[in-house]
Amino acid sequence: MRHIISPTDLTLTELDELLNLAEDIIKSPKKYSDACHRKKLATLFYEPSTRTRLSFEAAMLNLGGSILGFSSGDASSASKGESVADTIRVISSYADICAIRHPKEGAPYVASLHSSIPVINAGDGGHNHPTQTFTDLLTIKNLKGRFDNLTVGFCGDLKFGRTVHSLIGALSRYNNIKFVLISPEELQVPSYIKDQVLDPQNIPYEEVKSLESAMPDLDILYMTRVQKERFFNEEDYIRLKDTYILNSRKMSLAKEDMLVLHPLPRVNEIAVEVDDDPRAVYFKQAQFGVYVRMALIILLLREGEGRPIC
Ligand code: NCD
């Protein structure tokens, strides 16, 4: 049984297969319109979501499958005290594959230990968000054409932003990658990312406070929202929330082919005026999320039938 808990659960070859399949789906969507006929996807969302849940559901519907699930823990038996382990044992007999989002780090992993269907982590607390990373990688592949030789800036809440943690892990596997980590001191990348991912692989990175001075070097700028829901006190959130606001003036400091990505939702960190800049690709990125999730569902269900991803 294959589960996706972290983006590096796929080897580089498997990841290539996933992204190539996603690009083939973009080219010939009709070819896949029945690929998951009679299959069911369960979406177990214990935390708010717009894009991740709906793009998973759209993905399964595009493949001719069906969907079931809940969009808040309050609407499930979690509110009565049921454990994730018990829930997934039951859901395993209702669906063929499931995507789970949970505020507690590690909850999807625990689910995977008790599941007889593939479990996909759709975001666990401030930890990981592998399918957003696959979306980000498809965006970079499609619009930039390479993963090697990139200087990637991450800006905003690098402490709690799970999309940042996952994408750093995934990009660290490519050649000549350099990271510029732009955040206030309080929101720097957690030390486990440095100790377990960056340092052992000798990935060059710098931690800086100024977005302006980092701009000219970047091939990709990954903006993030300050994660209000993970703060222990509101005062800190209010003090830090508007530290960075990307606007047209700052964009004028960037390379002509730099891409701006953002997992969305955006709050204040990108001024609306930037949306018309051709380098702003975050809405396109959200569209890619459907195709990459279609590809992932196909590959995991195939593997469940004994056909390895590669
Ligand atoms: C992200 C998340 O949930 O981590 N959203 C998403 O899935 N596209 C980013 C965020 O909430 O800031």
**Tens digit of each residue's pLDDT (9 = 90 or more) over 51-92:** 999 999 999 999 999 999 999 999 999 999 999 999 999 999
Mutate to test the pocket of ligand 1, among 155, 163, 228 (most ligand atoms within 8 A of CB): 163
- What pLDDT is stored for residue 1 in this prediction? 85
In 3D space, the residue among 163, 173, 172, 161 whose CA is nearest the CA of residue 194 turns out to be 172
- Residues belonging to the active site: 51-52, 80, 101, 129
Nearest CA to ligand 1 atom 7: 52
- What pLDDT is stored for residue 152 in this prediction? 98
- What pLDDT is stored for residue 310 in this prediction? 87
Q: Which residues of the chain have pLDDT under 70?
A: none
Each residue of 239-267: b (16+ CB within 10 Å) or e? ebbebbebeeebbeebeeebbbbbbbebe
- How does pLDDT run across 1-39, given as a tens digit for each residue? 899 999 999 999 999 999 999 999 999 999 999 999 999
- What pLDDT is stored for residue 281 in this prediction? 98
Ligand 1: centre distance to CA 212 (Å): 24
Ligand 1: centre distance to CA 163 (Å): 7
Ligand 1: centre distance to CA 202 (Å): 28
Structural element, H or E, at residue 222:
strand 220-223
Nearest CA to ligand 1 atom 1: 263
- Please give the domain boundaries of the chain with CATH numbers for all domains: 7-129+287-304 (3.40.50.1370), 131-285 (3.40.50.1370)
Residues with CB under 6 A from ligand 1: 51-52, 123, 129, 132, 162-163, 225, 263-265
Residue 77, CA distances (Å) to 84, 197, 233 in order:
10, 37, 29
Q: What is the pTM of this model?
A: 0.97
Ligand 1: centre distance to CA 264 (Å): 6
